[in-house]
Amino acid sequence: MAKTIENLLSEERRFPPPTAFARAAIAQPGIFERADADYLRFWEAEAERLQWRERWRQVLDDSKAPFYRWFTGGKLNVTESCLDRHLATAGDRVAYYWEGEPGDKRTLTYRELHAEVCRLANALKSLGVRKGNTVAIYMGMVPELPIALLACARIGAPHSVVFGGFSAESLGERIRDAGAVAVITADGAWRRGRVVPLKESVDEALANAPTVRHAIVLRRAGNEIRMRAGRDHWYHEIVPKAAASCAPEPMDAEDLLFILYTSGSAGKPKGIAHTTGGYLTQVAATHRYVFDIKPEDRFWCTADCGWVTGHSYVVYGPLANGATSLIYEGTPDFPDKDRWWKLIADYRVTILYTAPTAIRTFMKWGDDYPRRRDLSSLRLLGSVGEPINPEAWMWYHATIGGGRCPIVDTWWQTETGAILISPLPGITTAKPGSATRPLPGIAADVVDEHGRSVPLGGGGYLVIRRPWPAMLRTIHGAPERYLDVYWRRFPGLYFPGDGCKRDLDGYYWLLGRVDDVMLVSGHNISTTEVESALVAHPAVAEAAVVGRADPITGQAIAAFVVLKAAVAGDDALITALRDHVARKIGAVAKPASIVFTEDLPKTRSGKIMRRLLRDISEERKLGDVTTLANADIVETIRGRAAHSPPSE
């Protein structure tokens, strides 16, 4: 990685803002200094753009830092900013164009979306869901998914969206941790022409989730399901007959808006807690100035609402800004590999926000697919989820953007709630591969292992020096873990867990995770989680998992497995283990390769040396082996890894 960056810096590829962006939402560079001079006033001005019931007394309460509180005393319901306030001026504007994978279409204006949200909110109320009750949501990308988030917000019930690709077991664990009282789901979801049986997973999860009293089930894929009387309710039977107006529940600025689970290196997922006023303030602000959003834009953020990107830039940010978005249900290769480009042409999409893993996949498929379609409506491109390698950046810029669209490479996390580091398209000169600089109001830095700021030109750990409105407030049910994971490494500084290098212009070059969390296709997966799943299989004695660089998925999961005595390690077992992990965690966590070995490289204290396994997986010279207790095993594993082709 470091080498790539050096090469790049010497090449000095720079992309200044195109003249078309001279009148972008933010085009005056003075904004950085102004925000820096009084960052609380800067964020307060952003909060003033939202609809509040009562004004806050204090912008930031840091008396219990790092349990920061923003806009304390303020009262609002996020759905009033996202829906009600647009009705008078833009009720007939399209909020969502939606296309299903089979090709069915739906359009929802702000007025229609408002009515749908109110109906579902009333249906939830009729089932006894109250302010403060958590509701789990497990669906595909159908219009009812954003509607479900907003309906929960309308009545003050925190939502916990679980990505539809997660297994029944993962869903159950998240439902239990959140103590959800209801689930909103669908019979199934369309994915690559097949049905993902969502309700089946819900049934399995609920067998062991006693807090859930009700499930609302959307009919989407038409697959046969079981409905349990008293607990399960068809969406189409209870929602359309509910009233189309529902008074918004006034919420405190610091009331919980949602929990969203993200992988932790200790195996157990972390329920990231986001609250109301600060979160909406910052997602609305960043959506407006990073994407330079205009009423006539057609914005397409391709993320699923199961990830934070979908929460912030499919639902809350765009709706707070009264924007028009596209939502697509399915995969990019159905029925053919030009589906996204056809969607962009059909809907005249102007802004595309997607992930490097998708971009690399399209590169692999070849230029012919995007060339078939008219992409001239695009004016801005975005990237998120992992560092975008310069080759992919250049391809995205030339082949998708026609050389005319700026690219915003946006760095953020589930925990940060909103984008923190990114170019501003009207101001920033981009360098391919760099997320450029912290946004106005954000104080980032790069420090060494003692927490000392590293001068420009050096590398170390990324930290954030001042709180920001959309920051996580805690880990649900685990405040000590919140302190441990984010605040104890560098006291007083927020530590996101990413390595970072800063060049002499002060540009940030993100280097990936420094802990044992892997980033596979932009999804955060912990090594411990996959290891635990492998070890749960009856044939497995021990397992070590590492992320190795992969040209398509960013990182691919390489597993090293010690089998129980008398178990033969053959191809059938490799397949069985991969399926087993998919069942336990989800298909995204399937190891790309599995190597059987008699032992794992360990330190004398018995700690697995994953660093060496990474070296082996990436075919590097081995690093320091002096602390190794069993040196010979490394060579054995290396020989085997070289002879075992990846399973996919």
Distance in Å, CB of 447 to ligand WT7, minimum:
16
Rounded to whole angstroms, how far apart are CA atoms 623 and 608? 14
Tokens of 361: 């996949």
Among 182, 179, 102, 195, which Cα is nearest to 138's? 182
Residues 6+ apart with CB under 8 A from 615: 621, 622, 623
Token pair 């590169």: residue: 363
Which residue number, 409 or 516, has a Cβ lying nearer to ligand WT7?
409
**Burial (0-12, 13-18, 19+ Cβ within 10 Å), 89:** exposed
Q: Which amino acid is at 166?
A: F
> Is there a contact between 157 and 134 (Cβ–Cβ < 8 Å)?
yes
Q: Angle at which helices 30-37 and 39-47 pack, to 10 degrees?
A: 100
d(CA 445, CA 465): 7
Amino acid letter, residue 343: L
Query: To the nearest 10°, the Cα dihedral for 104, 523, 151, 257?
Result: -160
For residue 439, with 0-12 CB atoms within 10 Å meaning exposed, 13-18 middle and 19 or more buried, which class applies? buried
**Which residues contribute to the site for ligand WT7 (CB under 6 A)?**
262, 308-309, 384-387, 409-414, 435, 496-498, 510, 512-513, 519, 522, 524
State the amino acid at position 17 in one-letter form.
Answer: P
Q: How far apart are CA 160 and CA 296, in angstroms?
A: 32
SS3 453: strand
Least Å from the CB of residue 483 to ligand WT7? 18
DSSP SS3 for 388: coil
d(CA 640, CA 563): 15
**Apex 267 CA angle, 266 and 269, nearest 5:** 105
Q: Which residue, 278, 213, 223, is CA-closest to 47?
A: 278
Based on CB atoms, which residue is closest to ligand WT7, 182 or 472? Answer: 472
With vertex at residue 170, the alpha carbon angle to CA 282 and CA 223, rounded to the nearest 5 degrees, is: 100
* SS3 at position 410: strand
Q: How would you classify the pairing of strands 256-262 and 593-596?
A: unpaired
3-state secondary structure of 131: coil
How many contiguous H segments (helices) and E segments (strands) does the chain have? 22, 30
DSSP track, 265-327: TTSSPEEEEEESHHHHHHHHHHHHHHTT--TT-EEEE---TTSHHHIIIIIIHHHHTT-EEEE
Collapsing DSSP to helix, strand or coil, 236 comes out as helix
Of 496, 528, 498, the C-alpha closest to 510 is 498
- The residue type found at 206 is L
